[in-house]
Structure 1
């Protein structure tokens, strides 16, 4: 997002800069028809007052050459004059007369105008400082809820990680998963439900999926796991084939499986902590290999990846429920219970609904925030433009009043007065045109970028919800 205007006291003091001739100002004017709001009104109309530096006859002027440039931005960065043309008109005229002599009417109007600005130019530094500093920036909405994944899985993870989601599925292939439940082997029911869930949760581009089986490896089941799908982008065919390849084994080495994931996470992340890690353990019973899954889950949660460990307990006996809940709690995750095939499928449907709701919320919140950030830039730039334009009008009117008085007091002052008035109008017109053009362009950029980002968010959110609903209805 953009940097807001600071208070005047925090601005740097611009240094005098050299430039071209004051007479070139008129040629540099940008006359904007229709959008300038009548800024080039007749100079005789009442204008708002403006403030220059505090009035004091003891104050010294700077180098008048700081106004000898056709670069409008440099003019607005210049130190103002020390005198107020409304309150100090007599002193300004006296000092001009002292500088150019009683025959000031014969002096070069350009030189007189530079000295007039040296004495009484308005202060535009705050306006130009805003233009120099403002940046049209919007908060990155990311790629989805909590940047593509945490809300998709229904879990709560601390913010601060925004590089995507690594989703690890640990699948129980112990012997009990071969038992029948509701006329179907539990392993087959679980495979089908996990396929549906992962197909939804891994739909975003920055989600990676890994599949680890524990309990079905021949031989020493308590010491073995099998990586069926190394952490990678989701490929539906390859993932489903890996999931369907499992066969019921003997033991339930949950701790070993979690430790294997921790090894992978440490190798994958290293010092990188901008990806979120969520682990789903699908199990129909407690640890049976004398490991410590609670400690393993806590180690994952305490790792640089700050992983979340969730447990899906499928047809778990009452006396084993608590052990699985303890694992989820130590892993900063949640325990989900499903006592039948229908309940497991319902659980996965609930996850799908939570995903849809998360995308809807993500879309709404980002659209609102982007609109607010756009309005902030637009409103502030209008405020700055109005302030600068009003100051310019007031300055032009005050300078012309000085010129009129100077002309009346000078012999042969008509030519001088005509030249000075022309320079005052040229300066005012150029400044106002510059402000309107520059700040209108800024607002246009903010509106264009904000509109584009909101359109992208709506398209992304609507598309993801449609995809999830479509996949769910086809199952």
Structure 2
């Protein structure tokens, strides 16, 4: 340090010492500092019931509730909290989890659906059932005979025409004739016994086409009843299923004359997957013929009816229309009862989600609220003992208001669902009555 005076040299040393001392002191103090603890942010508590239903559950909600741990957390609260501050903190700790039950309640479908089978296929509500009607008409030579009212074949055609024109809207109908070729002489037996024809294939009724089909044949030959029943089974085999109703009407005036076994074929028809309803109509049949036709009907688990005139046949088919009307009335009454049951089931769901008493871990929203309010009130009492509240009464009143408003909300939700479900039930009843009236009007 040449050139420096003694005083200057001391000044440099002193300055250097101060700088070094300052640096080392700062470093030491810095190494001893602890990070400042962040204060937890307390969100504003929900006040409106709909918002309360969506609140984030508190740290001690549900099964997490532990009174000692809650009190330890309450001890950390600042002193002299305002009502709002205390309310926010308490809900943050003790708010219950309403969301699962509430969301399930709000997603409940208030419509009433009834899935009852119907006698036709044109119904949109409830479920659909296809009706197929196949008519087997004996066109053997004996059908050219006369009975009271005229020629049997003419009377049969007229009755079948009227019946087919009145099948329910959307139903399908078919007409198969047998024994309509050759003649009833022995030389033509082979030809006649092979005559088995679907003159009107299964489809919706068309008056002009059906009339043309009826005019295509005359009574002439033998009676291949067995092959006609076998053919009917083939005609309907693709219509097996729960939502299909297959009905087979057989109009015959005599026994099998072509060597077939109509009883055996009827049994096969009845046991097939198409599950047909078989109706045998004996038209002016002698005793032997009646015995065979009854066996045919029994083998197919069907029914047999004898008619002796055109009026009898017409009355029988009219009776079939009335039977179908009765089916619709029965369907209507049963469907209404089902709609009532569905209403009751859905109202029970609403009641359980809202007001079910505690059962194990399950309870309704009202009891979740009750549990929350009990825990909040216990916490208020503890905070008061610890002198951490500015106004205990105001806080208790706020919690009481929360309880009353939310209880009222639950009652209004129940009333709303009751009204919606009642409206849904009445609309369904209206649909049912309208469909019954529409279908029955076709038979008036």
Q: TM-score range by the shorter chain?
A: 0.7 to 0.9
- Report what 1:460 is aligned to: 435
Q: 1:321 to 1:198 in 2, by over 3 A?
A: same
Give the secondary structure class of the aligned counterpart of 1:105.
coil
TM-superposed CA distance for 1:259, in Å, is 1.8
1:237 aligns with 2:208: yes
Distance (whole Å) between structure 2 residues aligned to residue 373 and residue 330 of structure 1: 40
Q: 1:73 to 1:444 in 2, by over 3 A?
A: farther
Q: 1:105 to 1:421 in 2, by over 3 A?
A: farther
- Report what 2:105 is aligned to: 131
- Report what 1:279 is aligned to: 248
TM-superposed CA distance for 1:399, in Å, is 4.1
Distance (whole Å) between structure 2 residues aligned to residue 401 and residue 356 of structure 1: 66
TM-superposed CA distance for 1:240, in Å, is 3.2
1:116 to 77, 94, 108: 94
Give the secondary structure class of the aligned counterpart of 2:203.
strand
On the 8 A contact 2:174/2:200 being kept in 1, the answer is: yes
Give the secondary structure class of the aligned counterpart of 1:251.
coil
Give the secondary structure class of the aligned counterpart of 1:165.
strand
1:196 aligns with 2:143: no
Distance (whole Å) between structure 1 residues aligned to residue 283 and residue 380 of structure 2: 94
2:374 to 391, 398, 402: 398
1:182 aligns with 2:157: no
TM-superposed CA distance for 1:321, in Å, is 0.8
1:144-183 deviations in Å (ceiling 9; x for gaps): 48x789xxxxxxxxxxx96311111011111111111125
1:266-303 deviations in Å (ceiling 9; x for gaps): 3x34x755322221111000111111111211222222
Consecutive unaligned residues in structure 2, runs of 5 or more: 1-40, 183-187, 357-363
- Count residues with an aligned counterpart: 381
- Report what 1:61 is aligned to: none
- Report what 1:295 is aligned to: 264
Give the secondary structure class of the aligned counterpart of 1:138.
coil
Give the secondary structure class of the aligned counterpart of 2:288.
helix
1:363 aligns with 2:345: no
TM-superposed CA distance for 1:216, in Å, is 0.9
Give the secondary structure class of the aligned counterpart of 2:176.
strand
Distance (whole Å) between structure 1 residues aligned to residue 42 and residue 73 of structure 2: 20
- Report what 2:286 is aligned to: 317
1:246 aligns with 2:225: no
On the 8 A contact 2:94/2:372 being kept in 1, the answer is: no
On the 8 A contact 2:249/2:281 being kept in 1, the answer is: yes
Which shifted more, 335-344 or 369-378? 369-378
Distance (whole Å) between structure 2 residues aligned to residue 273 and residue 209 of structure 1: 19
1:450 aligns with 2:425: yes
Q: 1:97 to 1:277 in 2, by over 3 A?
A: closer
On the 8 A contact 2:133/2:173 being kept in 1, the answer is: yes
TM-superposed CA distance for 1:184, in Å, is 0.6
1:333-386 deviations in Å (ceiling 9; x for gaps): 111111222222221222222222222222222223312322332355245434
1:72 aligns with 2:92: no
Q: Greater RCO between the two (CA within 8 Å, min separation 6)? A: 1
TM-superposed CA distance for 1:135, in Å, is 4.6
Distance (whole Å) between structure 2 residues aligned to residue 133 and residue 73 of structure 1: 18
Q: Which has the larger radius of gyration?
A: 2
TM-superposed CA distance for 1:22, in Å, is 5.3
